[in-house]
């Protein structure tokens, strides 16, 4: 399950980084990363859900100190590395350049066992979890049926239908 680590670790870990805070610029950066992972198509992208604020909330409230450090260090590494390799800020870069960078980073870190490899998975998991549990993701990207509802044992379905939100 995507985001399972957040659920399995409980609501508030015992040890967290005290005073950890994210600036509005950090949230905007996370919005752009999320929108690179789930861009706007015929449905709104992750940025429209406020994915940056969601990621910050999850990191502050559910990650332990080690996970928080990996996340913050990874964001700083992405900022610096993108600037040095692409000669522009991630937020100002073209969508194609951001996507190519994140995909290359993901491919590079698949073979790596280091801590920096974890941030790619964290960003992807938080984006998917936040997007599909948001109102926009559940009602516009998925088919939403309010529960409780009636039981229908057999529902007609075709390949072009959206998945159902749960």
Q: What is the reported pTM?
A: 0.80
- Residue range 68-123, pLDDT digits in tens: 999 999 999 999 999 998 888 999 999 999 999 999 888 887 776 666 668 888 99
Decide if 11 is inside a domain.
yes
160 assigned to some structural domain = no
Q: Work out how many domains the chain is built from and give that number.
A: 1
Segment 46-68, tens digit of pLDDT:
999 999 999 999 999 999 999 99
Contact 24, 31 (CB under 8 A): no
Nearest to 165 by CA among 148, 143, 136: 143
Average pLDDT of the chain, as a whole number: 86
Residue 33: give the domain boundaries.
4-141
Which of 94, 86, 66, 75 minimizes the C-alpha distance to 9?
66
Query: How far is residue 46 from each of residues 87, 109, 110, 161, measured CA to CA in Å?
Result: 25, 23, 24, 21
Is the pLDDT at 1 greater than 50? The verdict is no
6 falls in which pLDDT band (50, 70, 90)? low
Q: Is residue 67 part of a domain?
A: yes
In this structure, is residue 117 part of a structural domain? yes
Residue 20 in any domain: the answer is: yes
Tell me how far apart the alpha carbons of residues 91 and 96 are, in angstroms, rounded to a whole number.
12
Q: Is residue 51 a part of any domain in this protein?
A: yes
Considering the domain boundaries, does residue 49 fall inside one? yes
pLDDT at 23: 94
Residue 69 belongs to a domain: yes
pLDDT at 28 over 70: yes
Q: Which residues on adjacent β-strands are paired with residue 164?
A: 143
Residues 6+ apart with CB under 8 A from 13: 62, 63, 64, 65
Phi, psi for residue 143 in degrees, rounded to 5: -90, 120
């Amino acid at each position: 399950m995507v985001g399972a680590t957040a659920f399995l670790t409980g609501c508030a870990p015992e040890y967290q980084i005290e005073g950890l805070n994210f600036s509005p610029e950090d949230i905007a950066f996370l919005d752009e990363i999320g929108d690179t992972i789930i861009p706007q198509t015929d449905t709104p992208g992750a940025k429209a859900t406020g994915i940056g604020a969601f990621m910050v909330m999850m990191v502050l409230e559910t990650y332990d100190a080690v996970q928080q450090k990996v996340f913050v260090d990874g964001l700083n590494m992405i900022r610096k590395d993108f600037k040095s390799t692409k000669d522009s800020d991630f937020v100002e870069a073209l969508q194609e350049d951001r996507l190519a960078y994140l995909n290359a980073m993901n491919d590079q870190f698949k073979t790596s066992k280091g801590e920096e490899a974890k941030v790619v998975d964290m960003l992807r998991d938080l984006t998917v979890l936040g997007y599909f549990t948001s109102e926009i993701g559940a009602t516009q990207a998925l088919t939403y049926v309010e529960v409780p509802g009636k039981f229908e044992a057999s529902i007609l379905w075709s390949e072009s239908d959206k998945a159902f939100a749960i």
